[in-house]
Amino acid sequence: MCSKREDVYRVVKAFASKGEWMNPEAKHYIKCLVRDFEQNGLNLTVTKKEEVQRLRAQIEELSLQYIHNLNDDSSCILFSEAELVGLPPEYLKSLEKAGNDRYKITLRSHNVLALLEFCQVGRTRRMVAAAYGKRCGEVNLSLLESLVELRHKYARLFGYSNYADYAVDLRMAKTSTKVFEFLEDISASLTDLATGELALLKDLKRKEEGELPFGIEDLLYYVKRVEEAQFDLDFAALKQYFPVDVVLSGILKITQDLFGLRFQEVADAEVWHGDVSVFSVFDLSSGELLGYFYLDIYTREGKYGHTCVVALQNGALSHSGQQQIPVVLLISQLQKGNGGHSGLLRFPEVVSLFHEFGHVVQHICNRASFARFSGLRVDPDFVEIPALVLENWCYESFSLKLISGFHQDITKPINDEMCKSLKRWRNSFSALKLKQEILYCLFDQIIHSTDNVDIVELFKHLHPKVMLGLPMLEGTNPASCFPRSAIGFEAACYSRIWSEVFATDIFASKFCDDLVNHHVGMQFRNKVLAMGGAKDPIEILSDFLGREPSINAFIDSKTKYSQ
């Protein structure tokens, strides 16, 4: 890789020091290039460079071992049918049976989440939650302690006082201190709402189970019970209003109208499977070709299993000044219909498809001069914001009617009451759910910004403090089964909340009152999407909003539709 070549680094560093004939984007590009080289240790002594390589290898090995331990864990618990009351019949049918006609619950996340949501037996919920939280106990705890120590050593070789400062310095948040302030502000602002939500759940448990104390293992079950009582939402019936073709057509129309685009399917395109389609994207006003996108959305054997967007070619200016055309792929795992009928989507699949299409538009509309800043190659704290902004259209009556239609008569979209219920359901118990996420984010940030932390005691202390007095389950050790701290998101678990907060600010400030405001949509396209990574994200958002982004709209959105 070029960013590991010392000769190239010396040339770029010399060029950067001159700063000659460079426009702001070029200056930013050179600055990022130098940073890339120095992140690879090219400004360090030979001894330190060797130590960086050694630590990297150790960190990678231990991280993978942590994940392998979780993946290889085959723990299970046996329950009688009476201990599983409330679970759907299809769930029970999917379970293996052991001796004495008992059901085997393997401790995989999909099994555990379903049980915690539906099982009426409090003792069963507690046993499963406790066992799930004890997976890989001492072995993964030891691995995580070693990983944190190695990461701190690694960061100090680059001049940082701890790993969190090293990781966050390259992101929109900039400092670990800023992350702590952000998480604590959100948590404090949600305390009153979360307290009310928890009181409601505790009251319901008293009515159903007497004076047994409410535990963290009860959260999903009683949230589900309250939602069933308060919202007239039958998600199985709702699915019938979301045929794939209708949803896609609605998404295309909304994004075309909003951002001044025109999509045109390419006939007889050369593709890798008959289910794949290709679209050209043109600027509506000038007719200029902006890019292409591929849709490979239906499940098939042997296909990559995740829903995501993949950049096939980034947009950039060539040496001759011509724009390289961006090309992008949206890949998903939707069920195809039978007998000429369109497949039907569950509502979360509708939201996911809209979200990922937001990334398609983000990639196509990016007009950065350098490939380094184009497509989705932007600050990781920023990359999800545009797609999260577009998710909001999935909860507004106007747009819900555009992306829905009863499968037997697509001229009949979902009704107004269902639209209102979906919007209220979106924010149901959101304060408690966010508190739980903030708990893990704070844990992640603390262990990566402090030396010699007793990880078990830290979680015991944090849990009741953040979760309004609810203690962690006795004997559990979330640090042993929290993969986001082990690999991929270490010191950056906060980023999902960060992105959602600023996406909410954008939607509430600019789009909420007029969902198809073409003028605002074009401003978003030209000031946010077109910039890509060519400017600091805070500058980009401040330019669009007319002020610095704020958490206020996010907090308001949670309280507005609360119970």
Q: Which residues are catalytic?
A: 356
- Give CB contacts under 8 A, 24+ apart, made by 255-258: 255/357, 255/361, 255/390, 256/284, 257/516, 257/518, 257/521, 258/516, 258/517, 258/518, 258/521, 258/524
Handedness of CA 262, 265, 266, 272 (dihedral sign): positive
Residue 391: strand, helix, or coil:
helix
The position carrying tokens 């030891």 is: 142
8 Å CB contact between 470 and 214: yes
DSSP letters, 78-128, are EE-GGGGTTS-HHHHHTSEEEGGGEEEEE--HHHHHHHHHH---HHHHHHH
Residue 280: strand, helix, or coil:
strand
Q: What is the Cα–Cα distance from 404 to 401, expressed in whole angstroms?
A: 5
Q: CB-hemisphere CA count at 13 Å for 277?
A: 12
Sheet with strand 96-98: strands edge to edge: 76-79, 102-106, 96-98
Residue 382: strand, helix, or coil:
coil
The position carrying tokens 């090293």 is: 166
The alpha carbons of the chain give a radius of gyration, in whole angstroms, of 25
List the structure tokens of 12.
Answer: 């770029």
Angle at 209 between CA 204 and CA 212, to 5 degrees: 100
Burial class (CB in 10 A: 0-12, 13-18, 19+), 210: exposed
What is the 3-state composition of the chain as percent helix, strand, coil, each rounded to the nearest 5? 60, 10, 30
Mark 47-62 as b/e (b = at least 16 C-beta within 10 Å). Answer: eebebbeebeeebeeb
Q: Where are the alpha helices (DSSP H) in 377-429?
A: 385-391, 397-402, 416-426
DSSP collapsed to 3 states, 228-258: HHHCCCCHHHHHHHCEHHHHHHHHHHHHHHH
Q: What is the Cα–Cα distance from 174 to 92, expressed in whole angstroms?
A: 48
Q: What is the Cα–Cα distance from 379 to 398, expressed in whole angstroms?
A: 32
Burial class (CB in 10 A: 0-12, 13-18, 19+), 476: buried
Angle at 122 between CA 120 and CA 127, to 5 degrees: 120
Residue 457: strand, helix, or coil:
helix
> What are the CA-CA distances from residue 191 to residues 164, 460, 560 (Å)?
26, 19, 15
